[in-house]
Amino acid sequence: MTTPETHTAETTGHGDISVGVAGSGDSSASATRITPGNALRPEDIALEVRTGLVKPSEDVAEYALRLGDDALILAQRLGRWISRAPELEEDVALGNIALDQLGHARSFLTYAGGAWEKSEDDLAYFRREHEFRSAHLFEQPNGDFAVTIARQFVVSYYQFELYRRLTQSTDATLAAIAAKAVKEVDYHRDHSAQWILRLALGTKESRARMTHGLKLVWPYVGELFVDDELTTRLAGAGAAVEPSSLKADFDRLTGEVLAEAELEVPQTPVAPGGGRRGKHSEHLGYILAEMQVLAREHPGASW
């Protein structure tokens, strides 16, 4: 995977703020200076994996697969909003969130693939439904904007608590991916909370839709916080965190937002989930059919 960089950074008019005359330093002030920035990219992880610098254990790979699949399926869902959002500004906002999630997915899957000599694309496009490890929440349909916001609300508060702790992982790569992701997810929290408030306290219609949206996604909250043998083993080794340990903070913080929005925490029955074991919602099959169709038509091809 060699990505020729298309850096378009300007090289002029910057870094000459050494002049003492008032105003001169500002001659380089600009609102269109663009740079690619500097952060951990999936390509960097791929390079480390390829050169043998890092190789996840079987357990860590399986764990990374879960996080990667969650993010991938969510990105696939969110991508549909681009060109369909309630306002152009929101097309861009949801696009940014989808791109963040896709970035996390690529990093986790690339790292996971290191255990089995598979690329991110091998894992995304050539696994079958039961081999995916996403939780049901991420597979839920977009619904209307309120359903998407409800899903985003749960996801972002969950992911924030998860990644925040994962930055302390004894697995350096997991920690590094989490360190990049946690900052982005923090913004996703803010985005969803802002919308929860506006939809809940906006109009009668929006309040009804917001309440309904939360009701639709809440049965799938429980699955996010279920421990199993893998997470217990990894948490014991300090590489991962027990999902159940995130629950208290998640409840408290989401509770605060819901209270401000004058909404109740939905009292819906909890669905059993099973995504971590390959037992998925009915939705995943359709998602994969669409996502994988072209790649599978041309096995072995490069794009």
Partner 1 sequence: MIPNDTPTSQVPSRPLDSQARPGNPAAVGPRPGTPVVGAPQESTTSVWPLWEVFVRSSRGLSHVHAGSLHAPDAAMALRNARDLYTRRNEGVSIWVVPADAIAASDPDAKGSFFESPQGKDYRHATYYTKSEGVKHL
Partner 2 sequence: MASQNLQPVPEALSPEEQERAAQLEAEGQAYFDRVMADDSRIEPKDWMPAAYRKTLLRQISQHAHSEIIGMQPEANWISRAPSLKRKAILMAKVQDEAGHGLYLYSAAETLGQSRDKMTDDLIAGKARYSSIFNYPALTWADMGAIGWLVDGAAICNQVPLCRASYGPYGRAMVRICKEESFHQRQGFEILLELSNGTPAQKQMAQDAVNRWYAPALMMFGPPDDDSPNSKQSMAWNIKRFSNDELRSRFVGMMVEQVRVLGLTLPDSEVRFNDETRKWEHGPLDWEEFKEVLAGRGPCNAQRLERRREAHDDGAWVREAAAAYAAKQARKHAEKEYAA
List interacting residues with partner 2 (CB under 8 A): 1, 3-4, 6, 8, 32, 34, 42, 72, 75-76, 79-80, 82-92, 95-96, 98-99, 102-103, 105-106, 109, 120-121, 124-125, 144-145, 197-199, 201-203, 205-206, 209, 290-291, 293-295, 298, 301-303
**Residue 16 binds which entry of partner 1, partner 2, none, with Cβ cut-offs from 5 to 8 Å by kind?**
none
CB of 265 to partner 2, least distance (A): 21
Please give the angle made by the CA atoms of 162, 167 and 168, to the nearest 5 degrees: 105
Q: For residues 9 and 293, which CB has a smaller minimum distance to partner 1 in the complex? A: 9
**Residue 302 binds which entry of partner 1, partner 2, none, with Cβ cut-offs from 5 to 8 Å by kind?**
partner 2
Position of tokens 């909370």? 193
CB of 28 to partner 1, least distance (A): 7
Q: Does 12 contact partner 1 by CB under 8 A? A: no
What is the crossing angle of helices 172-201 and 58-79, to 10°? Answer: 30
CB of 59 to partner 2, least distance (A): 24
CB of 203 to partner 2, least distance (A): 5
Q: How many CB atoms lie within 10 A of CB 185?
A: 26
> From CA 293, how far away is CA 42, in angstroms rounded?
23
Part in contact with partner 1 (CB under 8 A); list of ranges 83-91, 126-134, 249-257, 279-287:
83-91
Work out the burial of residue 197: count CB atoms within 10 Å of its CB; fewer than 13 is exposed, 13-18 middle, 19 or more buried: middle
**Residue 190 binds which entry of partner 1, partner 2, none, with Cβ cut-offs from 5 to 8 Å by kind?**
partner 1
Q: Does 92 contact partner 1 by CB under 8 A? A: yes
Six-digit token string for 244: 């159940």
Letters for 177-196 (x = contact with partner 1 by CB under 8 A, - = none) are -------------xx--x--
Q: How many residues bind partner 1 (CB under 8 A)?
A: 24
Q: For residues 85 and 237, which CB has a smaller minimum distance to partner 2 in the complex? A: 85
Dmax (CA) for the chain in angstroms is: 68
**Residue 56 binds which entry of partner 1, partner 2, none, with Cβ cut-offs from 5 to 8 Å by kind?**
none
> From CA 214, how far away is CA 267, in angstroms rounded?
10
31, 127, 135, 4: which is closest to 73 by C-alpha?
135
Q: Does 20 contact partner 1 by CB under 8 A? A: no
CB of 256 to partner 2, least distance (A): 18
The region, left, alpha or beta by phi > 0 then psi within -120 to 50, assigned to residue 15 is left
> From CA 222, how far away is CA 266, in angstroms rounded?
12
> From CA 112, how far away is CA 119, in angstroms rounded?
9
Provide the H-helix boundaries in 114-243: 120-125, 136-139, 145-166, 172-201, 204-217, 229-236
- Which positions touch partner 1 (CB under 8 A)? 14, 17, 25-26, 28-37, 87-89, 92-93, 96, 190-191, 194, 198
